């Protein structure tokens, strides 16, 4: 079933198109282009079009369906999430750090990388939560629903074959959600996930820059985005050493500030506005 909010984007599209058309018609009919009604309808069209585009490209998309990107809570709890793995040797190094710190995290794995390193994927899944990050890590924002479905299903199959689990969380590559991505993930039984803070670590800034960016943006209920892998064709040239070097410092600072670390489903359970929780307000 489609989420009721998935219909909202159709209303916004109609508003953008209708207002733009009306402004165009008024201009063509000889009304002054700079008259207040023409400017108002053109402005409405532009605003609705801008909202559509923003929501399409936002990792926190709201208009096209629910994307979880933080929990509404004042409790100092966050979820660490890592994308694009598994990827030797960085994923193993990360597992060691998390094990030492007694932290469970969430890994959005790419199916093709799981196929390459199934044992490592299984090792991750034995301790942590694993989510789907497609099969080949493409841009899906303009893809047809059939392409989206194939990417998601092949990702599910690869993860299931390697780990025995079927993920119920999905993060779109590059963070660009469109309505077809959110509805397809929902049809396949997955909740879409974004993030609240990231460090642009794919550009491999020094580890202390990665640490600073995360600590600067972190809030109670937040979701961090870092990378233990890199697309699907970078191996063995992928280099996540800066991220791995930053993680112990990030964890140490957050612990010193009273934060505790949850998996994504645990953080979702903490969300005071989660519509699945009885007796809570809906978003």
Show contacts with Zn ion in window 154-173 (CB under 5 A): 173
Closest to Zn ion by CB, 84 or 271: 84
Q: Produce one character per residue of 16-38: b if its CB has 16 or more CB atoms within 10 Å, e if not.
A: beebbebbeebeeeeeeeeeeeb
3-state secondary structure of 63: coil
Closest to Zn ion by CB, 48 or 190: 190
In sequence order, what are the beta bridge partners of 262? 79
Nearby residues of 196 by Cβ (< 8 Å), 6 or more positions away? 60, 69, 70, 217, 218, 219, 221, 222, 223, 224
84 binds Zn ion (CB under 5 A): yes
For residue 53, CA distances in Å to 9, 48, 64 come to 11, 9, 11
The CB-of-173 to Zn ion minimum distance in angstroms stands at 5
Closest to Zn ion by CB, 83 or 228: 83
Q: Catalytic residue, from 227, 228, 231, 242: name it.
A: 227
Query: Is residue 242 among the annotated active site residues?
Result: no
CA distance 17 to 21: 6
Which residue has the closest beta carbon to Zn ion? 83
Closest to Zn ion by CB, 83 or 117: 83
CA distance 131 to 210: 23
Please give the size of the binding site for Zn ion, defined by CB under 5 A: 3
Q: The tokens of 130 are what?
A: 């694993």
201 binds Zn ion (CB under 5 A): no
* Sign of the dihedral through C-alpha 232, 235, 241, 242: negative
Q: Which stretch binds Zn ion (CB under 5 A): 25-33, 75-83, 161-169, 256-264?
A: 75-83
The CB-of-199 to Zn ion minimum distance in angstroms stands at 14
The CB-of-261 to Zn ion minimum distance in angstroms stands at 21
CA distance 272 to 283: 10
What mask, x for binding Zn ion by CB under 5 A, covers residues 172 to 191? Answer: -x------------------
Q: Which residue from 215, 257, 265, 278 is spatially nearest to 75, judged by alpha carbons?
A: 257
The CB-of-38 to Zn ion minimum distance in angstroms stands at 44
Q: Is 105 exposed, middle or buried (0-12, 13-18, 19+ CB in 10 A)?
A: buried
83 binds Zn ion (CB under 5 A): yes
194 binds Zn ion (CB under 5 A): no
228 binds Zn ion (CB under 5 A): no
Closest to Zn ion by CB, 139 or 260: 139
The CB-of-150 to Zn ion minimum distance in angstroms stands at 18
Binding site for Zn ion (CB under 5 A): 83-84, 173
Q: Which positions are catalytic?
A: 83, 227
């Amino acid at each position: 079933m489609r989420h009721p909010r998935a219909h909202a984007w159709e209303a916004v599209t109609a508003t953008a198109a209708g207002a733009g058309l009306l402004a165009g018609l008024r201009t063509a009919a000889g009304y002054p282009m700079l008259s207040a009604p023409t400017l108002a309808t053109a402005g409405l069209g532009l605003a609705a079009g801008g909202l559509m585009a923003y929501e399409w490209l936002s990792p926190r998309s709201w208009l096209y369906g629910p994307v979880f990107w933080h929990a509404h809570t004042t409790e100092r709890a966050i979820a660490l999430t890592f994308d694009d793995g598994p990827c030797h040797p960085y994923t193993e190094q990360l597992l060691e750090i998390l094990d030492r710190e007694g932290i469970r995290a969430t890994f959005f794995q790419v199916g093709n990388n799981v196929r390459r390193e199934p044992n490592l994927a299984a090792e991750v899944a034995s301790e942590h939560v694993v989510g789907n990050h497609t099969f080949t890590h493409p841009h899906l924002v303009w893809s047809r629903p059939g392409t989206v479905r194939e990417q998601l299903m092949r990702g599910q199959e690869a993860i299931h074959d390697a780990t025995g689990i079927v993920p119920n969380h999905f993060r779109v590559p590059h963070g660009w959600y469109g309505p077809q991505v959110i509805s397809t993930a929902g049809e396949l039984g997955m909740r879409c996930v974004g993030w609240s803070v990231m460090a642009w670590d794919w550009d491999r800034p020094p580890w202390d820059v990665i640490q600073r960016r995360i600590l600067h943006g972190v809030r109670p209920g937040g979701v961090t985005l870092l990378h233990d892998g890199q697309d699907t064709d970078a191996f063995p040239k992928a280099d996540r050493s800066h991220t791995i070097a930053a993680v112990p410092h990030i964890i140490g600072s957050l612990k010193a500030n009273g934060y505790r670390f949850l998996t994504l489903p645990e953080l979702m359970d903490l969300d005071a506005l989660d519509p699945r929780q009885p007796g809570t307000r809906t978003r």
